[in-house]
Amino acid sequence: MKIALMMENSQAAKNAVVLNELTQVVTPQGDSVYNVGMSDENDHHLTYIHLGIMASLLLNSEAVDFVVAGCGTGQGAMMSLNIHPGVVCGYCLEPSDAFLFNQINNGNALSLAFAKGYGWGAELNIRYIFEKAFTTGERGQGYPLERAVPQKQNAGILNQVKSAVVKDNYLDTLKAIDQALVRTAVSGPRFQECFFDHCKKPEIAAYVRDLLK
């Protein structure tokens, strides 16, 4: 699995800690981590709005399989990611949230709170969240198991509803956004490396290249 970690300006100082915990959890099982957001407070400025655009591009182009994002409360990043087609982002404050989101909702992104509740032992909570998110076996099996069938059905229905609501072509949705916002979102060299190296949709790659000219 290819996992993108993206952090915005308010919590960029914690990137090294979060990146270390994620890497320690997932690399032993062969997963790859791409640190595509801000790495510290001096990095190029990103807000949670930019994170939604970045996650959208990476997931819809199939450059990555999963996105870990967040902000101070985690709420803004979750809303920003869920605006976009092809992104199903859960809200995660503790390890059980990660496990239940994977089993019941089976999405492709998580938003964590990197300020609210971030105190003594915070790195342990983050590590345990990542363990439940990425090392607990097959996703989408339902919980409790006797509710698995309706849960799978409802998760699929919700995705169908979102697809119906977002009727436009994916690139049209990107072009409808203020292009300065999108340009800033894709301006980071680590994002570009991950995106262009792994993008499976040539038309999306061409759009980003044109935007960066």
Reported as a single tens digit per residue, the pLDDT across 49-69 is 999 999 999 999 999 999 999
Question: Phi/psi at 91 (nearest 5 deg)?
Answer: -105, 125
Q: What was the pLDDT predicted at 104? A: 94
Q: Give the pLDDT score at 147.
A: 85
pLDDT of 159 reads: 85
Q: Containing H/E element for 126? A: helix 122-134
- 2-212 in CATH: which number? 3.40.1400.10
Q: Please report, as a single letter, which amino acid is at residue 72.
A: G
What pLDDT score was predicted for residue 186?
A: 98
DSSP lists the bridge partners of residue 91 as: 111
- Contacting residues for 23 by C-beta, under 8 A, at least 6 apart: 33
Give the per-residue pLDDT at 99.
Answer: 96
What is the pLDDT at residue 155? 87
* Of the candidates 32, 42, 35, the residue with the CA atom closest to the CA atom of residue 7: 35
Q: pLDDT tens across 126-161, in order?
A: 999 999 999 998 888 888 888 888 888 888 898 888
Measuring CA to CA, how many Å separate 166 from each of 62, 65, 83, 108, 170? 19, 21, 9, 18, 9
Residues 176, 148 contacting (CB under 8 angstroms) = no
* Domain definitions of the chain by residue range: 2-212
| Mean confidence (pLDDT) of the chain | 95
User: Cα angle vertex 135, ends 84, 53, to 5°?
Assistant: 15
Residue 61 token pair: 């182009």
Helix 202-212 / helix 189-198 crossing angle, nearest 10 deg: 150
Query: Which tens digits make up the pLDDT trace of 62-116?
Result: 999 999 999 999 999 999 999 999 999 999 999 999 999 999 999 999 999 999 9
For residue 35, list its beta bridge partners: 5
Residue 89, strand partner residues:
109
User: Is the CB of residue 190 less than 8 Å from the CB of residue 199?
Assistant: no
Q: Mean pLDDT across the stretch 165-178?
A: 88
Instruction: Quote the pLDDT of residue 127.
Output: 98
> Can the peptide bond before residue 95 be classed as cis, meaning omega within 30 degrees of 0?
no
> If 0-12 CB within 10 Å is exposed, 13-18 middle and 19+ buried, where does residue 161 land?
exposed
